[in-house]
Amino acid sequence: MLGRKSVEQATRRATIADVAEAAGVSKTAVSFAFNSPDRLGTATASRILEVAGSLGYRPHPVARALTQRRTATIGVLTPQALSIIFSNPFFGAFSEGVALVAEESGYGLHFISPLHGSLANAVSRTTVDGCVAIGLSADHPEVDQVRRAGLPMVLVDSSALPDFPSVEVDDEAGARAAAEHLLALGHRDILVIGVEPPHPAGREDPEGVMNRRLRGYRAAIEAAGLELSDDHVVVGPASIAGGMAAFEGAWGDGLRPTGILAMSDAMAVGAMRAIRDQRMSVPGDLSVVGFDDLDLAQLIDPPLTTVHQPVRRKGEEAVRLLLSAISGRSAERPEHMRLETRLIVRASTGPPPVPARR
């Protein structure tokens, strides 16, 4: 019975014209009854609503969005497939911040990934009032398409573009602090585990997060009179598995560092797991420093020394900037926020082992 009923309703959804006819009024009146009841007589308004209810009428959201030029939705642009993104705890924390501000302002969230290869393509099919792009390199062709579409956008963790507002953190200073910490403990042989840029290799953004952090590491290392050679920088996807693979690769190549600088907590955790698999201990044999300071970092054993960045707040601020751009009350010049990072020392770092075997 229910089944049949729902089939009938799926067949033909009630429209505003149906309600108008059933109630013996104009479409305008029905629209008023829903949107500005004070423009109607009390009796008429409530009768219309009643009729509408009995017909199961709901204003069609798409039609409404068309006339109001507003979808009450913001898009989150990600450089990778969503199925990869959602397994990344960093992204979860970021989304938390995004969701918090979006929700309290009555906006829904739409996640947009490079559908069938092209982000621009995906964006142009999508019904949003504006979007937050995370980790998009600024020279991406997609960015230009968005610009031409006239869609408000805020960039997070991208090299800043003058005409879009942006939110980033002081990656370089954070990275430098992490490296200085290891150096101060006495480490001299340091391996950097970097996050692989998701973009099709080749065009690499010199202002991307990867390179900014690398500059910080390198600055500290060179200030100590040492050198960071290219073979001491390995990369992989920003995941636990990626961290394991990166460490195992380097170890297999014969590298024997005493300290590891990982560009994400997830990779640091992966490295720690790989280290344990080699029957070595953290921080006894190797020290590990992460980046992000996710919940994860305190959770594991030993708790991870890492560079804290306000991931959640990045999401919040990005949406705030976006909402003000959408409402048109944005400043003359787009705002560029740079948030702080700081080193959190926990138990995954210590002095290097006394040189026994080498």
Partner DNA sequence: CCGGTTTAGCAAACCGGTTTAGTGAAGCTA
Partner DNA sequence: TAGCTTCACTAAACCGGTTTGCTAAACCGG
Binding site for DNA (CB under 7 A): 13-17, 24-32, 34-35, 39-41, 43-45, 57-60, 63-64, 66-69
Among a copy of itself, DNA, none, what does residue 39 contact (CB within 5–8 Å per kind)?
Answer: DNA
Site membership for a copy of itself, residue 327 (CB under 8 A): no
Smallest separation (angstroms) from a copy of itself to the CB of 315: 9
In the window 339-358, what residues touch a copy of itself (CB under 8 A)? none
Site membership for a copy of itself, residue 143 (CB under 8 A): no
How many residues touch a copy of itself (CB under 8 A)? 63
The CA distance from 166 to 164, in Å, is 6
Site membership for a copy of itself, residue 338 (CB under 8 A): no
Site membership for a copy of itself, residue 277 (CB under 8 A): no
Q: By C-beta, is 116 or 357 nearer to DNA?
A: 116
Among a copy of itself, DNA, none, what does residue 44 contact (CB within 5–8 Å per kind)?
Answer: DNA
- Which of 108, 79, 107, 282 lies closest to 195, judged by CA? 79
* Residue carrying the six token digits 């080699």: 278
Q: By C-beta, is 150 or 254 nearer to a copy of itself?
A: 150
Among a copy of itself, DNA, none, what does residue 203 contact (CB within 5–8 Å per kind)?
Answer: none
Query: Where does this chain touch a copy of itself (CB under 8 A) — which range of 22-30, 88-96, 284-292, 340-348?
Result: 88-96
Q: Which residues bind a copy of itself (CB under 8 A)?
A: 2-3, 6, 9-10, 13, 56, 58-59, 61-63, 65-66, 71-73, 81-83, 85-87, 89, 92-93, 95-97, 99-100, 102-103, 106, 108-113, 115-116, 122, 124-127, 147-150, 152, 162-163, 240, 269, 273, 295-296, 299-301, 333
